[in-house]
């Protein structure tokens, strides 16, 4: 077994965003009874969306200026 390493918490930035009420309710239902916070769920969802964007982006052609 490997040596235990104390994990570090990544740096964060506080952002205030507005969610539609129905989205908040749906997220809260999805995480109910699970060991997950609203923030953790949203962060995971955004990371997944960003990965999808990266995979589907086509390279931008060079522009002649």
Residue 60's pLDDT is what? 65
Tell me which of 2 and 35 has the higher pLDDT: 35
Q: Which residue has the higher pLDDT, 34 or 4?
A: 34
Helix, strand, coil content of the chain in percent (nearest 5): 45, 0, 55
Selected residue with higher pLDDT from 59 and 19: 19
- pTM for this one? 0.71
Q: pLDDT tens, 6-51? A: 878 789 999 999 999 999 999 999 999 999 999 999 999 999 999 9
Residues in CB range of 30: below 8 A, 6 or more apart = 41
What are the boundaries of each domain within the chain? 21-54
| Bigger pLDDT: 27 vs 62 | 27
């Amino acid at each position: 077994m490997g040596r235990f390493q104390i994990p570090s918490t990544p740096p964060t930035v506080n952002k205030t965003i507005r969610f539609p009420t129905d989205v908040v309710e749906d997220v809260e239902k999805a995480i109910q009874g699970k060991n997950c916070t609203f923030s953790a769920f949203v962060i995971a969802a955004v990371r997944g969306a960003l990965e999808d964007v990266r995979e589907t982006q086509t390279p931008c052609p060079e522009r002649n200026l």
